[in-house]
Structure 1
Amino acid sequence: MNETIQKYIDVAVQLGMNVGLKILGAIVLWIVGRLVIRAVRGILDRNLRARKIDDTVSKYLSSVAGVLLNILLLLSVLSIFGIETTTFAGLLAAAGVAIGVAWSGLLANLAAGVFMIVLRPFKVGDDVIAGGVEGTVHSIGLFVTTIDTPDNVRTFVGNGKIFGDTIKNFSENSYRRVDLTVQLSGQADVNKAIAVLKEKIATIPNIAKTPTPVVELQTFTLAGPVIVVRPFAHQSHYGAVYSAAIQIINEEIGKLGFPAPANPIVITEHKKAAAA
């Protein structure tokens, strides 16, 4: 009886040693592999920068290299446990419809990323609205595009969603129009207000000289005339020009001393006829 127990103990110890050594080897291989991948990507990034490759393309190539190297590392780790590449592929194929659907989504994101690199609707550093997210493009990856929103939140959007939706690139053109409206009272001197604002708006720093700022009468409301104020600026100065224009409008209209606009309210009283 004791010999039988000892036999089982020996088998368990031997099995534990074999499994433990495999797990230890897998951990060591994973750590070393990750360090090697990081070093390879660093060398690739430096070479691309030395060749003055565009940031959009260089970050995309670095992302592709990282994904491929990580897949090779994962297959190497699995091989330690005796799982061959063909077996791994068979397991994926047998996973069913769910993995197929997920993989089709990944393929769509992959294809969209390639098209974005080729067609270049935007590049790294551009201010865009893409996939419903507004911000500055940080990188275009193999499957996702990284955008930093105005409140400094890094957001990851699938390339397929971006490429299948409307893309607004605010940095592509040399200038962008600032749209502001000014509601005046019915007693205000419209021509004087337009002349003053046109003169002051033109003094805003970093405003585009061409086209010149537009200040004109737009429409009328019950409160009075409405003036539209439209200076132009490069995207990098858009926020500053927008704020400066609002400040100028507030100060200059206040100096003119016009009465505050107000919608007239007419109250009509209907008296009920007395009963006969």
Structure 2
Amino acid sequence: MKTTSRSVTRATSLSGFTAMELLVAISVVMVLAGLTMQVMKNGRQKAQQVRAAQKIKDLGAAFVAYTGENGGLLPRENHSGSGDTWQAASEEAATEVWYNALTLNMSQRSVGEIGEAGEPQLFYEDGYPLFVPGAPYPKSEKKLENPMFAIGMNSRLQRRDNDTGDKPQGTLASIQAPGNTVIFLERGMPKDQMVVRSQANFSASPKAGPKAFAGRHNQKGLLLFADGHVEVKSPREILTGSGKVRTLEEGSSVVWTRDPDDDPN
């Protein structure tokens, strides 16, 4: 049978229309899939932030309990001897370091006990107080070599005495602005992304200053204050672009030292 030009044109038109419909449908599906994945990612990040906030808040309660049991003294920020390895954490001199003292106060095994038992994997279990959801721990066994901290104690609370070289623990009562003074913060780890170019010291050590504040929850992180409350802030609210720590006089609500008048941020 001879095909007329009209029937060919009609068939081509129908075929072209069907192909166009298919392309549009595929595009719509891809867009919806992308939106769904973004919503799921945002939801996952929010859930991780909520869980991390509860963990750091629990750490704050243990912090206050520790000071009450020790004449108001703050726990030490780190072990100043051979470093914060598993072995060093198990030494007697590290007993009053926060990662040992506070975990014991929470009826959990201390970091020193975990190291002494040769069970470093326990440190990275979801139920352990110092494990932070959303933190970029190494997926390999490299993380087992030493404890890697995603939370750090504010390193500006304990200043070294210029004359004696000692570093007094300080007391909770000496914190002049407890509602503004940081005790613990989410600290940067090697694989955390820096939000401000001038940030530094993303080393996963147990102490951290303002430049090591990690914005791992949609470029924001958690700060625990001396009065026990937790805030979500961006590193941009803490640091200027040049790396200077913002002060109260510059509109910041965050204090990093026990007495901002005698010892500014």
Q: Does TM, scored on the shorter chain, surpass 0.5?
A: no
With normalisation by structure 2, the TM-score equals 0.30
With normalisation by structure 1, the TM-score equals 0.29
More helix by share: 1
- Select the structure of larger CA radius of gyration: 1
